[in-house]
Amino acid sequence: MFENLTLHELQIYWWSIISLLGGLFVFIMFVQGGQTLLNQLSGNETEKTMLVNSLGRKWELGFTTLVLFGGALFAAFPLFYATSFGGAYWVWLAILFTFIIQAVSYEYRTKAGNVFGARTYETFLAINGYLGTFLLGAAISTFFSGAEFRLDDNNFVYWMSSTRGLEALAVWQNYLLPFAMIFLVRIIGGMYFLNNIDHEPIRDRARAMIKRNILYFLPFFLAFVGWVLFKDGFAYDPVSKAVTLVPMKHLGTFIELPWIGAMFLLGVVMILVAVFNSVFKAKNCCIFTVGIGTVLTVMALLLNVGLNGTSYYPSVYDLQHSLTIENSSGSHYTLAAMSYASLMVPFVLAYIAYVWHAMDRVKITEEEITSSGEHHY
Amino acid sequence: MEPMASELVDWSRAQFALTALYHFLFVPLTLGLSFIVAIMETIYVKTGDEKWKKITRFWMTLFAINFAIGVATGLIMEFEFGTNWSNYSWFVGDIFGAPLAVEGILAFFMESTFFAVMFFGWNKVSKGFHLLSTWLVAVGSNLSAFWILVANGWMQYPVGMVFNPDTVRNEMASFWDVALSPVAVAKFLHTIGSGYVIGALFVIGVSAWLILKGRDVIEAKRSMVVGASFGLLVSIFLAVSGDESAYQVAQHQPVKLAAMEGLYKGEERAGIVAWGVLNPDKQIGDDRPEFLGDVTIPYALSFLGYHDVDAFVPGLDDLVYGNPDHNVESAASKMIKGKIAVEALSDYKEAKKAGDEAAMAAANAKLQQYMGYFGYGYLEKPTDIVPPIAITFYSFHVMVGLGMWFIVLFLVVLYLLMANDITRFRKVLWVALFSLPLGYVAAEAGWIVAEVGRQPWAIQDLLPVGIAATQIEAGNVQLSFWLFALLFTGLLIAEIKIMLRQIAQGIHGGH
């Protein structure tokens, strides 16, 4: 089946999967958003523990999505994996550090003998929530702004900046997406709490928080979208493969491939509808609307930057070294073989959804968190 | 391709070694304890005995403490191929990335999704679904081990690929050759075996302590029965899979085998050194004795390595300088062929630039002919093929010696549990307790044999570590090394203290 597709079709298929995973990952980063809200949404230690336990049942999904995202990039676009991870060394290591400290914090926070005390683990969660999200946003932003690298004739990477990725922070536009993401994941985190915790004081605070954060989110998000749509994009010629700067390339892609543009608009609308329903209609079910909206929005942005003859990881040091889905992918054989494995993805999503449903049928309550018969974080 | 500064390569290796060794402090317990917990919960579901539920939940709590830090230390392992071995990631990413991605799709989600049910679902889902979840966590953990060990097995014995001179990388030609390579399968079985043994040692060690302290004696004894029965089975399995693993090393990595045994001069009917002290002054090719003292089991190495007591086992001298009588090619000869391959690649690129298709075809034909020696083209001298001998030799012997000890220990403990009253044998209980850390020593020693013994190769015969690393100032890696050392050490201390406190609360304590 997959072996009959052309290499380019497989590259598009795999870029679509990467985009889907990227979208799912940003959605599941409601865990990171929630981690930034532990103090703000709780009035006492029990409420804080309710918040931690609510997130604690989902954090591993995000972690696993991150791991799969890395593995899929390694297998499908190994030149990106080699270039970006090896090149932007400090950005990626900093991101990983924030996730390493997240992984232990849920389990260790309230355990006797945890050496550093509960506050330290809560700080770890906050660092992961703010800094992890910020740096991931900055890393994704370089898909649009470019990075400073060159490749030799073996396709080995030479990073041209000694700050190894941190130089991206010297470009002011690279701050727009990170801040937009921080506010977005806080909003989604709030909606997750609304849905998962049956406790009015927390719900009231969450609604108020969402109301404020949408006002912070929108300026950053609109500025980011405006920058992306109207900036010069890094386009490549389908025949010569030469990379050139093309005015408003990303806007052009949304118009030339209207299904991606429609996906983007639908996603944004769903996010706004979810916010409206949560805040003004006091609904608690909007995590799914905002979730699908986020997946669609992020997926559309990633599809935009990778498809339609666009370089998704431009080299501003030398445009001709920029990465495209064509020059950075795995071989036809590997992409086809991996495509069979990808058929498992719907099955995996189905059992995740089933378990989510089975576990969240009973909402978290104060009684459950204060009872001694349950495993608690 | 120019070899990188040795300082950078050494720091990159040190960082990978550090993070891998830390990660493998936690993985084996996850692999083994997950099954033991699943067995315990099965007994609970079958019997309905609440004591078994208590027992299950006690070990499950310890499992969770260990699992969290295993996940934390595992994250970096996947990304480190990119951050610190980016040339490697390109050169073999087309093959190596696939098992990692499949691991993510098939194993990690299963593990993490059902982990949540296992810990928070006691009162939320049915007994049967909960039990299924516990088993799925065990299956997921072990599946994940399979795929990562497929990747590691491929580094030891690269198969199922062709070199593409246009992209300058190896490309997969057969997924099944990669996934079912005999080295990968042997490595998988031996590694999960080590995890099962550690799980069993953990259960009997902790149970022994509880009995010694007179805490929850009935539950501790029940746990011990499960631990010791499981342990006896899996420690024998570990020995058998270890034999197969060594056979694969003999077939595909003879230099590693020679280093493991401190064998310099090859011989027929070679024996295994049961105990020995290496002569520190010994050099390759000289006539000094290999050992200051040793006890050897005759014929055993020939049999282990080639399943033939008369077989010739090449030593390091033969492998470095060649032994025409036994058809052992010298490293110098391989280096000449490697340089031909490297030059052919360069010629191919020149011909491609010039648009000379005939020259391209000729260069490619030569390249493919000598591709099996490609990595040798980057070595400076023949002795570069030899890994650090002392570390490899001692690690191997510590691992094997401890493996034998564990079989005896499980046998004795199980016998005393079944045929006698183990609570009266306090010395045996203390021995069981103090054997707990030895499982970790054996497992780490095993990895040192596998990975230090693989040097100088990142990919056996194809890519030396000096070419494989990320081109970066060594100071960056030095700094990240210390950051990892600090962070992981801090987390390890916290993990051990939490674990000890939890154990001290006993089986009837809190969760």
Q: For A47-57, how does the pLDDT look when each residue is reduced to its tens digit (9 = 90+)?
A: 999 999 999 88
DSSP alpha helix (H) spans, chain A? 7-28, 30-35, 45-56, 59-76, 78-80, 86-87, 89-108, 118-127, 133-145, 176-196, 200-230, 249-256, 258-280, 287-306, 332-342, 344-360, 366-370
Residue A112 has pLDDT above 80, yes or no: yes
Average pLDDT, chain A: 92
**How many domains, in total, are found in chain A?**
1
Nearest CA of chain B to the CA of A176: how many Å?
A: 26
B80 CA: distance to closest CA in chain A (Å): 8
Q: Please determine, for residue A345, whether its predicted confidence score (pLDDT) is greater than 90.
A: no
Out of B85, B108, B123, the one facing A68 most closely (by C-beta) is B108
So what's the pLDDT on residue A284? 86
Q: State residue A347's pLDDT score.
A: 87
Mean pLDDT over residues B320-332, rounded?
Answer: 93
Q: What residue type is assigned to position B455 of the chain?
A: Q
Among chain B residues, CA nearest to A105: B68
Res. B325 pLDDT band, cuts 50 70 90: very high
pLDDT of amino acid A67: 86
Name which residue leads in pLDDT, A176 or B93: A176
Query: What are the tens digits of pLDDT across the range A194-250?
Result: 999 999 999 999 999 999 999 999 999 999 999 999 999 999 998 998 999 999 999
Cβ contact B73–A100 (<8 Å): yes
The Cα B336–Cα A187 span in angstroms is 63
Residue A78 is predicted with a pLDDT of: 93
Chain B positions in Cβ-Cβ contact with residue A116 (cut-off 8 Å) = 490, 494
Q: For residue B470, which residues of chain A lie inside 8 Å, CB to CB?
A: 86-87, 89, 157
* A246 three-class SS: strand
Nearest CB to A338 within list B85, B101, B500 = B101
Q: How far is B424 from chain A (nearest CA, A)?
A: 32
CA distance, residue B359 to nearest chain A CA (Å):
18
Q: Is residue A138 over pLDDT 70?
A: yes
Q: Which amino acid is at A107?
A: E
Quote the radius of gyration of chain B (alpha carbons, Å). 25
Residue B494's pLDDT is 94
* A276 located within any domain: no
Residues of chain A in contact with residue B65, where contact means CB-CB under 8 angstroms, are 107-108, 111
Are B490 and A89 within 8 A, CB to CB?
Answer: no
A113 to chain B: which residues are within 8 Å by CB? Answer: 494, 497-498, 500-502
B155-198 pLDDT, tens digit per residue, is: 999 999 999 999 899 999 999 999 899 999 999 999 999 999 99
CA triplet B310, B313, B318: central angle to 5 degrees?
135
Query: Of A248 and B509, which is predicted with more confidence?
Result: A248
pLDDT at B6: 86
Tell me, what's the pLDDT at B510?
53
Kindly report, residue by residue over A68-106, the tens digit of the pLDDT: 888 889 989 999 999 999 999 999 999 999 999 999 999
* A338 contacts A14 by C-beta, under 8 angstroms: yes
Per-residue model confidence (pLDDT) at position B192 = 94
Mean pLDDT of all residues in chain B? 92
pTM, full prediction: 0.92
The pair phi, psi for residue A96, each rounded to 5°, is: -65, -40
Whole-angstrom distance, CA of residue B217 vs CA of residue A67: 42
- Which of the 8 DSSP states describes residue A147? B
**Would the CB atoms of A154 and B84 count as touching at under 8 Å?**
no
ipTM: 0.91
Cβ B501–A72 below 8 Å, yes or no? no
- Enumerate the residues of chain A whose CB falls inside 8 A of the CB of residue B494: 104, 108, 113-116
The dihedral formed by the CA atoms of B181, B186, B192 and B194, expressed in degrees to the nearest 10: -150
Q: Are A324 and A295 in contact (CB under 8 A)?
A: no
Contact residues, chain A, for B86 at CB < 8 Å = 82-83, 85-87, 156-157
B511 has pLDDT over 80: no
Q: What confidence score (pLDDT) does residue A374 get?
A: 61
- Predicted confidence (pLDDT) at residue A15 exceeds the cutoff of 90: yes
Q: Is the pLDDT of residue A323 over 90?
A: yes
Q: How far apart are CA A295 and CA A26, in angstroms?
A: 7
Q: How far apart are CA B337 and CA B462, in angstroms?
A: 12
Band (A373; pLDDT cuts 50, 70, 90): low
Q: Which domain holds residue A108?
A: 2-228+329-370
pLDDT of residue B1: 65
Average pLDDT over residues A168-194: 95
Subunit contact A153:B164, Cβ cutoff 8 A:
no
Is A287 a member of any domain?
no
What residue segments make up the domains of chain B, in order of their start?
Answer: 6-253+387-504, 263-386
**A13 has a pLDDT exceeding 90:** yes
Report how many Cβ contacts below 8 Å link chain A to chain B.
Answer: 272
Share of chain B above pLDDT 90, in %: 73
Q: Do B97 and A330 touch (CB under 8 A)?
A: yes
- Interface with A, mutate which of B57, B78, B88 (most A CBs under 10 A): B78
How do residues B77-134 score in pLDDT, each as one tens digit?
Answer: 889 999 999 999 999 889 888 888 888 888 888 888 898 888 888 888 889 999 999 9
Task: Determine, for residues A375 and B102 on separate chains, whether the beta-carbon distance falls below 8 Å.
Answer: no
Q: How far apart are the C-alpha atoms of A221 and A181, rounded to whole Å?
A: 8
Residue B226 has what pLDDT?
Answer: 92
Q: What pLDDT shows up at residue A361? A: 79
Whether A224 maps to a domain, the answer reads yes
Q: Quick check: A186 pLDDT over 80?
A: yes
Q: State pLDDT tens for residues B16-26.
A: 999 999 999 99
Are B500 and A66 inside 8 Å of each other by CB? no
Domain-embedded: residue A163: yes
Find the largest Cα–Cα distance for chain A.
67
